[in-house]
Amino acid sequence: MFLFRRSAVSRKARIRDGTRVTLRQVRGTDVAALRAFVQSLSAESRYLRFHGIVTDLSEAQWKYLVSADGLDHVAVVAWIGRRIVGVGRYIRLEHAHDTAEVSFVVADSLQRRGLGSLLRDELVALALRSGIRSFRAEVMAANQGMRRLLRASSMNVVKDMGDTIEVSLDQADSRPEPLVA
């Protein structure tokens, strides 16, 4: 298996309205920017992402979120200027090594403009190269944006049990080269 390291490589992209974003894997130095991003989210967006009322996280949780290893825990952050505007993350499941739990969160002002799709495609490319063949997501019924994001691609929905959606990555169409060293 090809092993990934967190990479300093970044990629410029544009969302549907032409706004330029930079995508790169998360770094340990991103704690302050990530905290500012999460705190800037509306209460509804935080609720849908974290499945409950969240106003802040512990220092250990912030450290964990920026300590992705680039193989079993991957996080891609989207930046506009000096601020994070979106995060896509997967964590490989211990009991099903070819499956990973996936999550996304996008700044309220950029939702439904294609940023989630960019993050999804980046994670799919990285996952396929590391042997992950399916994503599983715990999704609240009210989170229609996440449901659309997972369905709006050539990925095959394997299971939709209401609060959990599993999609096959083997059916994914061609993706950009992932951000690897």
Angle (nearest 5°) at CA 179 between 14 and 168: 85
According to DSSP, the residues that pair with 104 across neighbouring strands are 88
Domain parsing of the chain, residue ranges = 10-168
Predicted TM-score (pTM) above 0.85: no
Q: What is the pLDDT of residues 62-87, one digit of tens each?
A: 999 999 999 999 999 999 999 999 99
Residue spans of the chain under pLDDT 70: 1-8, 153-155, 170-181
Walk across the sheet containing 134-138 and list its strands.
10-14, 20-25, 73-80, 83-92, 99-106, 134-138, 164-168, 156-160
Going by DSSP bridges, is the β-strand pair 10-14/134-138 parallel, antiparallel, or unpaired?
Answer: unpaired
Give pLDDT, residue 178.
55
Give pLDDT, residue 63.
93
Question: What CATH number does domain 10-168 carry, 3.30.43.10, 3.30.1330.10, 3.40.630.30, 2.40.50.140?
Answer: 3.40.630.30
Give pLDDT, residue 141.
73
Nearest to 27, CA basis, from 1, 56, 63, 66:
66
